[in-house]
Structure 1
């Protein structure tokens, strides 16, 4: 066996093994409540295992056939490049005024009511707007329609109104501040009572406001919110999946996921890290709500480690495994295709298809959560200081679990198609373009099957999470 063949086989086996280990936690994505401490109806357990595997097998088979049979470069290029432009110049000023006012007013409302209003999470507009309105519903809008955040971002409007731009943003920093800040926010979500104590959440919002407004004032809003602000990066990457995209001239309508084939979606190592963190944060919130995850936490705490340190360690170790697994897969793909491209370029271009998987995971994770709790959000918006004693909450039907499965499968299938389009754009020759995809398809097959096997798992409450 040649050295190159041995390398390919070894890296492929390591990649699959790594993904299997990580995917064990992904399957409960439809059952966990993302650690937010807000009640959500679990419907995943109603789905028979055989049906989950049948649906997953059908999706995987369709995806593989698609990559093998659809090799007409004209069709692939049409998917990548066809757009319909929409001019919004006449509305730009009025939109900024309306949405900017809404964004700033909402931030002020959340801060005030979080301090003087009800101090129970499910009764607090501060908690519900943060987790149901922002992290769930607004993110779903971002990847199904288009990015709403630039129009609403209150911190950007505040920073723009202040003197700013004292220093140039260092290019070597990239998006690492956004990666670090998101890791901090995810860790705080696990170890701090942010969903049960509105005042604790207000403290985090204030600290975040100082961080991001201060950075935007020093480095100028355009540079800061394009690179270093984690919430802006969150919505920017998720919205790359959407059919409606913002351009310098207005808006353009493309095929869903077509933006992911562009070479400027991911253009820095730090942006790869942020994309992988979007995938890992969904997996992480499932890890700590599964029986193996709970046993792991209890074991580590039992040997004398602080719970906060355990949750932080799991967050960082899992993120590191995702990073290593991705690099191994990229190396294997480059070797199989005998690509003249550098490993960095291959990594940049094949990181963006992962955003389609992240969108599918997010939908499975948050669709039921959003539907169940949005009436409570409406009730608290109507009377933020005196909400109903029993805010409305919908009970989801048993068949909604199928909707969650469809979300996961659609994300995988779109990711496979985008990777197919990227490989044909990068490489000459059909055989090389198809061979380049094999490691990514193998990883996606393993993730799909294992996640669908475990989506029926019964969720458990995370331990040592403050209430």
Structure 2
């Protein structure tokens, strides 16, 4: 998100220098500072890819199905005595937060680094809160302010067209990310508040038309992202707060049930990559060359978003078909695609953490200061992270892929009766993960470059 990168630049006052060694920067929302690693780029790229490949070999030695089931079936839990009060408090907090963003966005300071609405949306919500959904647990069903308001409105009871499935949420997610990249949504608080107001109107209209449950379960892209990310979290709600091992919630057989839901999972994976890619020097050079060759600037970013998404979707489809061939199974490729899509969410979460953890920590002091005094905030203060923090970001990418390898391994042993068949089924998926690991690490390692031709 180029605009939020500029926000971090303005707040931190950090000059980005192109360094010879690899430099982790967490493109987009992750922050503007460059934290150099004293290793050559080619070394950590091949090391990261090698670690993912080696993890597949190690997982292949775990052939005891009962052990895998015990790991994924481990649960602990209890019901909190103030559950109803907590849920009501979250709902009230969510609605208050939405009203706060609208009010401060329209009437607060015009400077983005001093406007609490900008900082709450990008630092507090899309950065910090999103991380909490996969690191701790998904509280969005209770916190979601649009769902709270929609539940109090009457419903027209229209029947949702089954043929649409989850495709509107795919289009919605891609559209939101495109808007993030090309619009001044993080530079102009009034514009941000206007976007939130429009999103509120569309969401409430859809919830009234089709019912809140249908809209937020099938259409709303934000609710779907958080619901999927919540499957990675160690805490979840099932008649009470329960604890499980991180990531094992992705192993549910019916988590992804259609082609449209597979497409949404791939979209979650791609949009974070796209956000980082457009902030690299490589993209800047390619964009300038494309415009000079006659490509309209207004077409450049949406075309790259859609073409890149179709490319990633195609790579996943090829990996699944290769897995079907190597496993020598009569199961259709669509069934394998649905079963092996959830592990991709672990990769997306790892890349999101690498993107946004540094950004969140750096701008948290500015966020707190703006919330305390939204109409007259103090001068923004940023936390300066140490140089070694870049290793944490790179580690998040690798850990996300390692978790994905294990979840896919466990899923294969549930799908295939033969041990060798289960291992062979992972060849194509693992190869795609290795390539994506190296691409992700390369993007994270690049110095920030302001994307050209954005508003």
TM-score w.r.t. length of structure 1: 0.89
Partner of 2:206: 215
Partner of 1:103: 94
Change in 2 beyond 3 A, CA 1:456/1:96: closer
SS at match of 2:426: helix
Q: Does 1:370 align with 2:360?
A: yes
Q: CA–CA distance in 2 between the matches of 1:254 and 1:202?
A: 38
Give the CA deviation at 1:59. Answer: 2.3
| Superposed CA offset, 1:113-142 (max 9, x none) | 111111111111111111111111011101
Aligned residues: 434
Partner of 1:49: 41
SS at match of 2:147: helix
Which of 48, 55, 63 is equivalent to 2:55? 63
Partner of 1:279: 269
Q: CA–CA distance in 1 between the matches of 2:140 and 2:301?
A: 29
Q: Does 1:356 align with 2:346?
A: yes
| Superposed CA offset, 1:61-92 (max 9, x none) | 5412322211111111112222223324x433
Residue 31 of structure 1 contacts residue 459 of structure 1 at CA under 8 Å; is this kept in 2? yes
Q: Does 1:444 align with 2:444?
A: no
User: Which stretch has the larger CA shift, 309-318 or 440-449?
Assistant: 440-449
Partner of 2:130: 139
Partner of 1:305: 295
Q: Does 1:408 align with 2:397?
A: yes
Q: CA–CA distance in 2 between the matches of 1:51 and 1:304?
A: 38
Partner of 1:5: none
| Superposed CA offset, 1:376-418 (max 9, x none) | 1101000011111x21111111100110111011101100000
Q: CA–CA distance in 2 between the matches of 1:457 and 1:33?
A: 8
Residue 207 of structure 2 contacts residue 215 of structure 2 at CA under 8 Å; is this kept in 1? yes
Give the CA deviation at 1:48. Answer: 4.2
Which of 373, 377, 396 is equivalent to 2:385? 396
Which of 228, 244, 263 is equivalent to 1:254? 244
Change in 2 beyond 3 A, CA 1:107/1:452: closer
Residue 280 of structure 2 contacts residue 443 of structure 2 at CA under 8 Å; is this kept in 1? no
User: Which stretch has the larger CA shift, 103-112 or 440-449?
Assistant: 440-449
Structure number with the bigger relative contact order (C-alpha 8 A, sep ≥ 6) is: 1
Q: CA–CA distance in 1 between the matches of 2:277 and 2:49?
A: 24
Residue 358 of structure 2 contacts residue 385 of structure 2 at CA under 8 Å; is this kept in 1? yes
SS at match of 2:253: coil
Which of 414, 417, 428 is equivalent to 1:425? 414
Q: CA–CA distance in 2 between the matches of 1:33 and 1:332?
A: 32
Change in 2 beyond 3 A, CA 1:197/1:29: farther
Give the CA deviation at 1:452. Answer: 3.4
Residue 47 of structure 1 contacts residue 456 of structure 1 at CA under 8 Å; is this kept in 2? no
Q: CA–CA distance in 1 between the matches of 2:37 and 2:166?
A: 39
Give the CA deviation at 1:326. Answer: 0.9
Partner of 1:7: none
Q: Does 1:199 align with 2:190?
A: yes
SS at match of 1:245: strand
Q: CA–CA distance in 2 between the matches of 1:281 and 1:62?
A: 27
Which of 216, 219, 235 is equivalent to 2:226? 235
Which of 444, 447, 453 is equivalent to 1:458? 447
| Superposed CA offset, 1:405-460 (max 9, x none) | 11011101100000000000000011000000011111222222344355432221
Partner of 1:324: 314
SS at match of 1:411: helix
Give the CA deviation at 1:305. Answer: 3.1
Q: CA–CA distance in 2 between the matches of 1:61 and 1:331?
A: 20
Residue 120 of structure 1 contacts residue 197 of structure 1 at CA under 8 Å; is this kept in 2? yes
Residue 266 of structure 1 contacts residue 352 of structure 1 at CA under 8 Å; is this kept in 2? yes
Give the CA deviation at 1:172. Answer: 2.3
Q: CA–CA distance in 2 between the matches of 1:121 and 1:57?
A: 39
Partner of 2:120: 129
Change in 2 beyond 3 A, CA 1:382/1:46: farther
Partner of 2:13: none
Residue 47 of structure 1 contacts residue 402 of structure 1 at CA under 8 Å; is this kept in 2? no
Give the CA deviation at 1:46. Answer: 5.1
Change in 2 beyond 3 A, CA 1:48/1:241: same
Partner of 2:17: none
Change in 2 beyond 3 A, CA 1:39/1:240: closer
